């Protein structure tokens, strides 16, 4: 988090959606200029927009309810989707002669933690755009009730990222969280109880970023900075027309290995973690990429255990699931019920609470490091050696070093101008799965799992 929390505070309040059509109109008007000014994006295009036009037509005619399940590789994704709603969908609708009511919009589901690190104003903006927050690491019944109500009765369709968080990689999808499928079944259930005939759909949406021109020189310069920060000799390569995949990949591997060694020493010496011997791994696994992947997974597990042990959590599930539980445990230490009435606490009680909040924040730092690497495999570049994959991996290393150095701003360097490709997938019917869902508790669990798996496959097919 950029705004470090050193004091115990009252529990996080729910930020109610308060949709303001005039505010949305202003956002739609300013968005193209804002994207050009604040991002490296120069072009946004979309495939199969006609599918989305038809879905909005059916939604506005009261025939369907749907949720857009979008890929979430970068923090720019919501801006791209809003551009899709405000510019591309109306344009295609006009070309087809399809009459749609304005505005074209969606109720976004967002992480309640975003306003903590991005600024409280983000919560205000999200609220007035009709978005609704959720706390990811617990059963946030207030947030879930709000999302459920909007799905069944909201003015617009829903939009959410089933991966739960950005992973920084355009061509790897993190394991999907089951909450999207569960929301779909709740919507179907609410419509059934109300004797309404709308069909419930989940629509996969792919988002992929690419560079207008390969930014090899900018990547080389960033590698220079990272090498200097980690104590490696700075390589003079990177001058105009000299940088390339062949020259830079060995440097990236060396940087990753060196940074990994520094972190292994850090956790072994000061946190008493037992990690595999790097030299032994290198002798047993000759491939540098595979050896790196083995060492990385061991380090991530050890770092996450530092947080879990402090919060008395048992390791369970995949890394991203464990990160969410640590995050929620940390929030429980920082945002506490007894601080609703801070006047009733003594000075000593408040000081002790602040100590707990400070320590919890420090322990969550280890989880934040792990969070950056949950989708990193070690073979991402070698499987498909593109400048986009190379840049994404380099930026993940930059983000890690920035966190280690305590940078308060995690705005990633812009390596070059980008174009964005949005792809609308084939809608998945929740209603078709609903008969199995309502049979029994076991049937409901299986239906959620099956629908989540179908969505995972559908989103992977859009890459």
**What gap in Å lies between CA 377 and CA 61, rounded to an integer?**
45
Contact 8, 354 (CB under 8 A): yes
Which pLDDT belongs to residue 297?
93
What are 269-316's pLDDT values in tens digits?
999 999 999 889 988 998 999 999 999 999 999 999 999 999 999 998
Is residue 455 within 8 A of residue 180, CB to CB? The reply is yes
Pairing of the two strands 107-111 and 158-160: parallel
- Separation of alpha carbons 399 and 392, rounded Å: 10
Which residue reads 């960033």 in tokens? Answer: 222
d(CA 361, CA 53): 45
Distance CA 202, CA 222 (A): 40
Q: Domain spans of the chain?
A: 21-212+418-461, 216-405
Whole-number pLDDT of residue 409: 54
At CA 203, angle to CA 198 and CA 207, rounded to 5? 155
Low-confidence ranges of the chain (pLDDT < 50): 1-3, 238-241
- Which residue from 384, 389, 409, 385 is spatially nearest to 399, judged by alpha carbons? 409
Confidence (pTM): 0.91
pLDDT tens digits, one per residue of 32-81? 999 999 999 999 999 999 999 999 999 999 999 999 999 999 999 999 99
Query: In the Cβ-directed half-sphere of 88, how many Cα atoms lie within 13 Å?
Result: 22
Which residue, 145, 137, 148, 140, is CA-closest to 67?
Answer: 148
Q: What is the dihedral of CA 207, 213, 216, 218, to 10 degrees?
A: -80
Pairing type for strands 418-424 and 199-211 reads: antiparallel
Q: What is the 3-state secondary structure (H, E, C) of the chain?
A: CCCCCCCCECCCCCCCCCCCHHHHHHHHHHHHHHHHHHCCEEEEEEECHHHHHHHHHHHHCCCEEEEEEECCCCCCHHHHHHHHHHHHHHHHHHHHCCCCCCCCCCEEEEECCHHHHHCHHHHHHHHHCCCEEECCCCCCHHHHHHHHHHHHHCCCCEEECCCCCCCCCCCCCCCCCCHHHHHHHHHHHHHHHCCCCCEEEEEEEEEEEEECCCCHHHHHHHHHHHHHHHCCCCCCCCCCCCCCHHHHHHHHHHHHHHHHHHHHHHHHHHCCCCCCCHHHHHHHCCCHHHHHHHHHHHHHHHHHHHHHHHCCCCCCCCHHHHHHHHHHHHHHHHECHHHHHHHHCCHHHHHHHHHHHHHHHHHHHHHHHHHCCCCCCCCHHHHCCCHHHHHHHHHHHHHHHHHHHCCCCCCCCCCCCEEEEEEECCCEECCCCHHHHCCCHHHHHHHHHHHHHHHHHHHHHCC
Q: Which of 369, 363, 448, 443 is nearest to 402 (CA)?
A: 369
Widest distance between CA atoms in the chain: 70
Residue identified by tokens 């290393």 is 397
Return the residue matching tokens 């060396």: 254
Crossing angle of helices 141-153/179-193, nearest 10°? 60
Check: CB of residue 264 under 8 Å from CB of residue 278.
yes
Q: Which residues pair with 107 in a beta bridge?
A: 158
Q: Which fold has domain 21-212+418-461?
A: Glycerol-3-phosphate (1)-acyltransferase (3.40.1130)
Structure tokens at 40: 């490296």
Cβ atoms 162, 136 nearer than 8 A: no
Distance CA 88, CA 274 (A): 53
Question: What residues are paired with 227 via a beta bridge?
Answer: none
Q: 236: which 2 tokens?
A: 């003079």
CB count in 10 Å sphere of residue 369 = 19
Report how far residue 134's alpha carbon sits from residue 11's, in angstroms, rounded to the nearest whole number: 14
């Amino acid at each position: 988090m950029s705004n470090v929390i050193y004091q115990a505070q009252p529990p996080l309040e729910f930020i109610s959606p308060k949709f303001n059509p005039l505010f949305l109109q202003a956002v739609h008007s300013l968005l193209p200029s804002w994207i050009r000014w604040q991002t490296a994006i120069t072009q946004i295009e979309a495939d199969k927009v006609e599918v989305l036009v038809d879905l909005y037509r059916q939604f506005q005619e009261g025939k369907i309810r749907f949720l857009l399940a979008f890929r979430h590789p970068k923090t720019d994704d919501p801006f791209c989707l809003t551009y899709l709603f405000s510019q591309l969908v109306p344009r295609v609708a006009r070309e087809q002669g399809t009459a749609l009511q304005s505005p074209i919009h969606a109720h976004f589901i967002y992480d309640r933690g975003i306003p903590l690190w991005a600024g409280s104003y983000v919560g205000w903006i999200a609220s007035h755009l009709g978005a609704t927050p959720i706390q990811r690491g617990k059963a946030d019944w207030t947030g879930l009730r709000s999302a459920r109500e909007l799905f069944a009765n909201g003015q617009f369709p829903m939009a959410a990222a089933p991966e739960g968080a950005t992973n920084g990689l355009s061509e790897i999808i993190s394991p999907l969280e089951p909450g999207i499928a569960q929301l779909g079944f709740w919507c179907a259930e609410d419509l059934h109880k109300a004797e309404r005939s709308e069909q419930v759909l989940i629509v996969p949406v792919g988002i992929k970023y690419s560079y207008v021109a390969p930014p090899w020189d900018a990547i080389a310069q960033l590698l220079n900075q990272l090498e200097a920060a980690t104590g490696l000799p700075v390589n003079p390569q990177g001058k105009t027309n000299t940088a390339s995949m062949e020259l830079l990949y060995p440097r990236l591997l060396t940087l990753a290995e060196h940074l990994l060694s520094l972190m292994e020493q850090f956790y072994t010496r000061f946190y008493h973690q037992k990690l595999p011997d790097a030299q032994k791994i290198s002798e047993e696994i000759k491939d540098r990429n595979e050896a790196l992947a083995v060492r990385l997974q061991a380090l991530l597990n050890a770092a996450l255990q530092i947080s879990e042990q402090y919060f008395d959590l048992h390791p369970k599930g995949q890394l991203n699931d464990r990160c969410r539980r640590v995050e929620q445990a940390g929030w429980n230490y920082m945002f506490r019920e007894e601080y609703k009435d801070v006047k009733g606490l003594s000075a000593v009680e408040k000081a002790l609470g602040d100590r707990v909040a400070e320590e919890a924040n420090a322990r969550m730092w280890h989880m934040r490091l792990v969070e950056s690497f949950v989708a990193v495999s070690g073979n991402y570049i070698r499987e498909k050696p593109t400048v986009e994959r190379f840049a994404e991996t380099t930026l993940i290393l930059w983000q890690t070093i920035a966190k280690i150095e305590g940078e308060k701003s995690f705005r990633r360097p812009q390596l070059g101008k980008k174009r964005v490709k949005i792809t609308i997938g084939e809608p998945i019917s929740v209603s078709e799965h609903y008969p199995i869902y309502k049979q029994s508790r076991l049937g409901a669990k299986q239906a959620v799992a099956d629908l989540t798996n179908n969505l995972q496959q559908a989103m992977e097919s859009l890459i």
